[in-house]
Amino acid sequence: MIVTFREILWQQVQQTLDLLKLYLGLLIPIFGLKCVMDLIATGQLFWWDYGRLLGECIGGFIGLFLLIDVIGAAWRYYRRT
Protein backbone atom coordinates (compact mmCIF):
# COMPACT_ATOMS: atom_id res chain seq x y z
CA MET A 1 0.00 0.00 0.00
CA ILE A 2 1.40 3.36 -1.02
CA VAL A 3 0.99 6.11 1.55
CA THR A 4 0.99 9.65 0.22
CA PHE A 5 2.49 12.68 1.88
CA ARG A 6 -1.00 14.13 2.29
CA GLU A 7 -2.16 11.07 4.27
CA ILE A 8 0.87 11.19 6.51
CA LEU A 9 0.41 14.92 7.12
CA TRP A 10 -3.29 14.42 7.87
CA GLN A 11 -2.41 11.82 10.54
CA GLN A 12 0.00 14.30 12.11
CA VAL A 13 -2.62 17.08 12.05
CA GLN A 14 -5.22 14.84 13.71
CA GLN A 15 -2.78 14.13 16.55
CA THR A 16 -2.09 17.85 16.88
CA LEU A 17 -5.81 18.64 17.06
CA ASP A 18 -6.14 16.17 19.93
CA LEU A 19 -3.25 17.90 21.69
CA LEU A 20 -4.84 21.30 21.06
CA LYS A 21 -8.05 20.15 22.75
CA LEU A 22 -6.05 19.06 25.79
CA TYR A 23 -4.02 22.29 25.75
CA LEU A 24 -7.15 24.45 25.66
CA GLY A 25 -8.77 22.33 28.34
CA LEU A 26 -5.86 23.13 30.64
CA LEU A 27 -5.28 26.72 29.50
CA ILE A 28 -8.81 28.10 29.90
CA PRO A 29 -9.10 27.28 33.64
CA ILE A 30 -5.70 28.86 34.23
CA PHE A 31 -6.88 32.07 32.55
CA GLY A 32 -10.05 31.93 34.65
CA LEU A 33 -7.98 31.64 37.81
CA LYS A 34 -5.81 34.58 36.71
CA CYS A 35 -8.93 36.67 36.10
CA VAL A 36 -10.25 35.90 39.58
CA MET A 37 -6.88 36.71 41.17
CA ASP A 38 -6.66 40.03 39.30
CA LEU A 39 -10.23 40.89 40.27
CA ILE A 40 -9.48 40.22 43.94
CA ALA A 41 -6.09 41.96 43.91
CA THR A 42 -6.88 45.06 41.82
CA GLY A 43 -10.66 45.15 41.63
CA GLN A 44 -10.68 45.16 37.84
CA LEU A 45 -10.24 42.84 34.88
CA PHE A 46 -7.85 43.45 32.01
CA TRP A 47 -9.84 41.96 29.12
CA TRP A 48 -7.63 43.32 26.34
CA ASP A 49 -4.50 41.86 27.94
CA TYR A 50 -6.17 38.51 28.59
CA GLY A 51 -7.40 38.25 25.01
CA ARG A 52 -4.02 39.18 23.56
CA LEU A 53 -2.18 36.73 25.81
CA LEU A 54 -4.64 33.93 25.02
CA GLY A 55 -4.30 34.64 21.30
CA GLU A 56 -0.51 34.57 21.52
CA CYS A 57 -0.56 31.29 23.44
CA ILE A 58 -2.88 29.58 20.98
CA GLY A 59 -1.12 31.09 17.94
CA GLY A 60 2.27 29.98 19.22
CA PHE A 61 0.99 26.47 19.85
CA ILE A 62 -0.52 26.19 16.38
CA GLY A 63 2.54 27.68 14.68
CA LEU A 64 4.97 25.44 16.52
CA PHE A 65 3.02 22.26 15.90
CA LEU A 66 2.41 23.18 12.26
CA LEU A 67 6.16 23.31 11.80
CA ILE A 68 6.65 20.07 13.73
CA ASP A 69 3.89 18.34 11.73
CA VAL A 70 5.30 19.33 8.36
CA ILE A 71 8.83 18.30 9.30
CA GLY A 72 7.62 15.05 10.89
CA ALA A 73 5.45 14.16 7.91
CA ALA A 74 8.27 14.95 5.48
CA TRP A 75 10.64 12.78 7.51
CA ARG A 76 8.16 9.88 7.64
CA TYR A 77 7.47 10.22 3.91
CA TYR A 78 11.19 10.29 3.11
CA ARG A 79 11.98 7.30 5.35
CA ARG A 80 9.09 5.09 4.16
CA THR A 81 10.06 1.86 2.43
What are the tens digits of pLDDT across the range 1-37?
A: 688 889 989 999 999 999 999 999 999 999 889 889 9
Q: How far apart are CA 16 and CA 74, in angstroms?
A: 16
Residue pair 69/16 in contact by the 8 Å Cβ criterion: yes
**CA–CA distances in Å: residue 53 to residues 21, 61, 70:** 18, 12, 26
Give the pLDDT of residue 25: 93
Q: How many structural domains does the chain have? A: 1
Domain coverage including residue 70: 5-79
Q: Is 73 left (phi over 0), alpha (psi -120 to 50) or beta?
A: alpha
Whether this prediction's pTM lies above 0.75 is answered by no
